[in-house]
Structure 1
Amino acid sequence: MSDFPFLFLLIVLPLLGAIVVAIIGRDETGQDIAKKAAVGFALAELLVAVVMLVAFEPDGERLQFTTSVSWIKSLGVSFSLGADGIALLMIVLTALLVPIVMIASWRRESLGDDINEPGSDDPDRPASGSRARYFAWILLLEVFMIGVFAATDVFLFYVFFEAMLIPTYFLIGGYGSSRRRPAAMKFIIYSLVGGLVMLGSVIGLYVVSRSEGAATFSWDALRQMDIDSGTQTWLFLGFFIAFAIKAPLVPLHTWLPASGAEAPIGTTVLLVGVLDKVGTFGFLRYCLPLFPDASRDLAPLVLVLAVIGIIYAALQAIGADDVKRLVTYTSIAHFGYIALGIFAFTTQAGAGAVLYMFNHGIATGLLLLTVGMIIARGRSRRVTDYGGVIRVAPWLAGITFIAGMAGLALPGTNSFVSEFMVLLGSYGREPVFTIIASIGIVFAALYVLWLIQRMLMGPARGVVPMPEGGYGGHADHSSSTHDADADEDAEVHGRGATAVKQRAATRTARSVRERVFGDLTTREAGVLAPLVVLVFVLGFYPQPVLDIINPAVEQTLQIDVGIDDPGAPVDSSANGAGK
């Protein structure tokens, strides 16, 4: 099956789906059919990705399922696709999260996407666009995300890299919270600046290849060229800045907390679960193989940024009250570990970094989805508005707890293997940076356990209703509703009995809504179950995934970068070691 055009099909299928869903969903009557069609295309995409994963040969050719068609012949540009083990995992992760996000976001209120940022004074209300159109944008984004991981032509990669901005901008700006427009604008400005800098390096690569007598954008041809160290440094910086923005590394990270907090939860899952991985993937696919000398020379700078990001983002997460913003800061800390693993230049740390990229998408995606379900019930994004969720929604609270434990890399969860490999593999070459990064483990425990304690544990309070029959505590709803009720009564005073009755009915409906918190529905349980299973399966037996990763990482470090690697391929059959 190595000759089957899996990658081309994976790009065409969601593109066709986006067109079909956009056409069907134009009318209000076709909304449900369009949403079902979108999920159908996404599930078909996942099926193709799984078949491709099974057909992949870890010990075979470096790039498999290759397809190449001449595109702009005069410039040596081709529509070339191929996947090694690293790209394959990112493609599978993309195909897995898209249908999960769609089903979880079936209605606008399903994940609390109609709730504003805490303390927002923006008069705009959260966007309420068509769900069918929202799903069509997600399918279009999937096209470009698959393309950016599969491209083996540098110019084609750049086209996909920039094209991702279009659907992402509309997903944030068209469907987010009250401050969605500034967040979307910040995202687009950062991304465009990074893309323009990278374009300069793409052009520079072409000029260098032409001076060598073979003008090309082929990744395989470019990585075999002998570019002098000075030129490598400048070209490396162009790619690195774009990837560092996308990753994101501190201090180029500020777009993510704003975008992640204001975007719909489903979009945030794709932002931190897949889109940000384009940056770390770019380090492995382009920076290291194309500019090995510059990668080695500038590695200390990257490591400094990585460990600063780990500590800084963890401290920001500890102080955050907006739960969506808190989770996005945890992701910035996690990306610091990934960058540490990549630029430590050992197979063990590099394989751990790639596994971390995959596992982070699963664990953080799970946490964001459960947080969104809590927000949808409590109608608030403030951590301090919650307490005792486990009393009224034990299954939802339990899965949120599992996601939190995976986020802090508890042994037995998927993130532990990744983080342990990164730290263990990095220590031999970079002991100082590794020790500083290890401090982030303590901070991770602080922000995760504090989040769990404040939101899930203790007596019900704030927006969480008291369970029927009581339990010795009480829910404090009066403080959050008394002032609003008084204002409403004052507002309608003198307007007549009809107005009073209408206000009373509205107030009663709101009171009932506040007290109907509820546990997981069948749809929500079905959405979360695959991610929970993967958290534990990859936590106890990650070896099949490592078998896919190790050859690609070895080839990148030993063949492309020329590193005499002290780390051997990892057999992680034991996951019970202390952290």
Structure 2
Amino acid sequence: MSASLPYLSLILGVPAAGALLTLLIPRENHRAIRLVGTVALAVPLLLVAAVWAGFDPAAGGPQFVERYRWIPTLGAWYYLGVDGLSLPLVALTALVAPLAALASWGIEQRVKEYWVLLGILVTGIFGVFLALDYLLFYVFFELSLIPMYFLIGIWGGPRRDYASLKFFIYTLVGSIVLIVGILGLYFLTGASTFDMVELARRAPAAVPQALKLPLFLLLFAGFAIKTPMWPVHTWLPDAHVEAPTPISVILAAVLLKMGTYGMMRITWPTLPDVARDLAGTLAVLAVIAILYGAFTALGQRDFKRLVAYSSVSQMGFVVLALAAAAAAPAAAEAAQLAGRDPQVVLQAGQSATMAAVFMMVAHGLASALLFLLVGFWYDRTHTRDFDRLGGMFRTTPVAATFLGIAAFANLGLPGFSTFIGEFFTLMGTLPVFPVAVYVALIGLVGGAMYNLTMLQRVAMGGPKPEWHGLPDVSARELATFVPLVAAMLLLGWMPGLLTQVLSTPVAQFVAKLGGM
């Protein structure tokens, strides 16, 4: 589908234009810088709403396509488009970015540089979800790395140098192996194009069998680090703890999703036979992440580090769903040989694929709210130590109420979007990897434990004398909390808003894996 306006270029261009305009504003005019930056990050939400309204859920393939020659000698194009897999993540980014902008009004150090980097960061994230050319995708993938490094390294906490360097090294290694995989795919297919759809069509037949596994691992490794999967997750807690609150929000809500989105958009459809062969191993790694993240979070004394480890656990559910989707075709064949209905297993593969996207969105909403709340109390108390917090239901009752909502959403209570994501994951995985589901249920118990423990240690008990008179939620902070709660409840009670957009691309995704 095409459109009269270049909506996707505008979604990319407005934050970038805001960053450029900010360069022209005198650095001492903080109010103008913040207003320009906030508006530049809010306008894409209106553009995405227009795209969603004009999106045809029944149509296959990308819509709102923009395609222009970029580097003709390499066959690279400026090629943008959205489908049901990318549109929810574009919408999530469009919602989270202006909320992070509002949360950034408290930044007082080097304000001009901060807002320029924030605009570039958001541009890169949008580009990853919109690009349909490998080279363009990689440019945007890298564009998100540099601003994040500086945003942590300059505006972060006491150990910001260590955390930003660790983030940079991990993600740089991931980017290097990813570009090697992309170039390998380009040369081995002989396609003379970086078109993702064309390379995915050619790769299964064109790539020599002996090179498929190494190529898959190269494409997979870069995204696994970005997700981050266990055991390459260790950069994430340090980055979260040291990053300023708005950057933690963007990191958890949307930046991590670039990894799992890359698996769905690139790795699985390009080499589906290898994805099927490795599905069992990937399921094991995902279950380890679910358990490790949950029970490591339970042992944390630092509020922000607990939320960071919870992301490791929650993203494990996304990878588990993708592993189940990859294994579903083989499991369906085995079911047919055993005299069972293979359609039940194939349907599970579709449920698992749908769960992966739904869980990405659900986790993005819940984690964004949790990090905003961590920042709320840290700004007032200058501590994240659970032993020094407590009694906040008496001291800051509005903020504590939002913490209760965030905790219940994060543990997957029915009525919230996370419950739908986890339910679809378990339902889609059970016919394929039943043992993995039973073990993952232990992780769900751990998730309930660390979320309720977090709520008890921050909000329950008698008020601490040192926090007497602590100011409660401001109007600006309330404006960042409410949209996230509304979105979690809306998708929790009306999941069809998202599943109807996913139905067609999910069927196509499973078909590429050999399921239909």
Residue 54 of structure 1: how far off its partner (Å): 1.2
2:215 is equivalent to residue 235 of structure 1 = yes
Counterpart residue identity of residue 93, structure 1:
L
In the superposition, the TM-score normalised over structure 2's length comes to 0.93
Which blocks of at least 5 consecutive residues in structure 2 are unaligned?
326-348
In the superposition, the TM-score normalised over structure 1's length comes to 0.83
Contact in 1 for aligned 2:181/2:219 (Cα 8 Å) = yes
2:394 is equivalent to residue 391 of structure 1 = yes
SS of equivalent to 1:251? coil
SS of equivalent to 2:138? helix
Query: Match of 1:272?
Result: 252
SS of equivalent to 2:139? helix
Alignment equivalent of 1:224, drawn from 201, 217, 225 = 201
Query: Match of 1:163?
Result: 143
| Runs of at least 4 residues off by over 4 Å | none
Contact in 2 for aligned 1:98/1:138 (Cα 8 Å) = no
Contact in 1 for aligned 2:367/2:410 (Cα 8 Å) = yes
Query: Match of 1:308?
Result: 288
Aligned residue runs from structure 1 range 232-381, under 5 A: 232-345=212-325, 346-381=349-384
State the alpha-carbon separation in 2 of the partners of residues 157 and 9 from structure 1: 17
SS of equivalent to 2:358? helix
The answer to which structure has the higher helix fraction is 2
Render the CA deviation track for 1:308-329: whole Å, top value 9, x for unaligned.
0111111110111111111010
Aligned residue runs from structure 1 range 452-491, under 5 A: 452-461=455-464, 475=465, 477=466
Residue 378 of structure 1: how far off its partner (Å): 1.9
Alignment equivalent of 2:513, drawn from 561, 566, 571 = 561
Residue 202 of structure 1: how far off its partner (Å): 1.0
Residue 44 of structure 1: how far off its partner (Å): 1.0
2:512 is equivalent to residue 529 of structure 1 = no
Alignment equivalent of 1:137, drawn from 106, 114, 117 = 117
Render the CA deviation track for 1:208-254: whole Å, top value 9, x for unaligned.
122xxx32211111111123433221111001110000000000000
Query: Match of 1:415?
Result: 418
State the alpha-carbon separation in 1 of the partners of residues 2 and 192 from structure 2: 29
Render the CA deviation track for 1:340-378: whole Å, top value 9, x for unaligned.
111101110110110110111111101111121122222
Query: Match of 1:179?
Result: 159
State the alpha-carbon separation in 1 of the partners of residues 223 and 486 from structure 2: 31
Contact in 1 for aligned 2:59/2:504 (Cα 8 Å) = no
Query: Match of 1:27?
Result: 27
Query: Match of 1:59?
Result: 58
State the alpha-carbon separation in 2 of the partners of residues 454 and 323 from structure 1: 9
State the alpha-carbon separation in 2 of the partners of residues 64 and 439 from structure 1: 41
State the alpha-carbon separation in 2 of the partners of residues 34 and 45 from structure 1: 18
Residue 516 of structure 1: how far off its partner (Å): 3.1
SS of equivalent to 2:109? coil
Residue 15 of structure 1: how far off its partner (Å): 0.7
RMSD: 1.3
Render the CA deviation track for 1:453-487: whole Å, top value 9, x for unaligned.
111001012xxxxxxxxxxxxx3x4xxxxxxxxxx
SS of equivalent to 1:377? helix
Query: Match of 1:13?
Result: 14
Residue 104 of structure 1: how far off its partner (Å): 1.8
Residue 174 of structure 1: how far off its partner (Å): 1.1
Residue 19 of structure 1: how far off its partner (Å): 0.7
Which blocks of at least 5 consecutive residues in structure 1 are unaligned?
109-127, 462-474, 478-513, 565-579
Contact in 1 for aligned 2:2/2:66 (Cα 8 Å) = no
SS of equivalent to 2:80? strand
State the alpha-carbon separation in 1 of the partners of residues 447 and 27 from structure 2: 47
Counterpart residue identity of residue 9, structure 2:
F
Aligned length: 489
Contact in 2 for aligned 1:209/1:216 (Cα 8 Å) = no
Render the CA deviation track for 1:41-64: whole Å, top value 9, x for unaligned.
111111111111111111123111
Render the CA deviation track for 1:246-288: whole Å, top value 9, x for unaligned.
0000000000000011000110111111010000001100011
Contact in 2 for aligned 1:2/1:55 (Cα 8 Å) = no
Render the CA deviation track for 1:76-104: whole Å, top value 9, x for unaligned.
11111111111111111111111101112
Residue 27 of structure 1: how far off its partner (Å): 2.4
Query: Match of 1:117?
Result: none
Render the CA deviation track for 1:518-555: whole Å, top value 9, x for unaligned.
21111211221111111111111110111011211211
State the alpha-carbon separation in 1 of the partners of residues 506 and 208 from structure 2: 24
Query: Match of 2:91?
Result: 92
State the alpha-carbon separation in 2 of the partners of residues 555 and 533 from structure 1: 31
Query: Match of 2:331?
Result: none
The more displaced of 227-236 and 242-251 is 227-236
Contact in 1 for aligned 2:60/2:504 (Cα 8 Å) = no
How high is the sequence identity, in percent, across the aligned residues? Answer: 38
Contact in 2 for aligned 1:11/1:143 (Cα 8 Å) = yes
Counterpart residue identity of residue 52, structure 1:
V
State the alpha-carbon separation in 1 of the partners of residues 153 and 115 from structure 2: 15
SS of equivalent to 1:75? coil
Name which one, 1 or 2, has greater alpha-carbon Rg. Answer: 1
State the alpha-carbon separation in 1 of the partners of residues 63 and 212 from structure 2: 28
Residue 450 of structure 1: how far off its partner (Å): 0.6
Residue 515 of structure 1: how far off its partner (Å): 3.5
Contact in 2 for aligned 1:13/1:41 (Cα 8 Å) = yes
